[in-house]
Amino acid sequence: EADIYQTPRYLVIGTGKKITLECSQTMGHDKMYWYQQDPGMELHLIHYSYGVNSTEKGDLSSESTVSRIRTEHFPLTLESARPSHTSQYLCASSEEGSKVGQFFGPGTRLTVL
């Protein structure tokens, strides 16, 4: 079944830890995105990728980094987590030229103590 997965769903960690949020999709989509969303608030694009070895920063400045070594995989890394990074992180993907918009994963809720 075609889908988009995010792990972990919830993560509570201490300040200074390095973390990687995983995102995988089985739909063969070229385009993938990371959004940051505070509870009940709007979505802010922080990274996107148009294909393998392509990554760009989004509208909202973020200290996180991303990589796209495989089409289906788009992990997000924080080298040194801080309380200000506490938020929900949503991954999405879309097909080139598609008219049906972006498909979202379930999100990772990150809490940095």
User: Which residue ranges make up the site for other proteins (CB under 8 A)?
Assistant: 6, 31, 40-43, 45, 48, 50, 59, 90-92, 94-96, 98-107, 109
Q: Which of residues 3 and 79 has its CB atom nearest to other proteins in the complex? A: 3
Q: What is the C-alpha separation between 82 and 72, in angstroms, rounded? A: 28
Closest contact distance (angstroms) between CB of 98 and other proteins is: 7
Q: Are 68 and 51 in contact (CB under 8 A)?
A: yes
Task: Report the nearest approach of other proteins to the CB of residue 16 (Å).
Answer: 27
Q: How many CB atoms lie within 10 A of CB 79?
A: 12
Rounded CA separation 73/61 (Å): 22
- Tell which residue, 41, 1, 25, 38, has the closest CA to residue 91: 25
Nearer to other proteins, 38 or 79 (CB): 38
Query: Least distance to other proteins from the beta carbon of 100, Å?
Result: 6
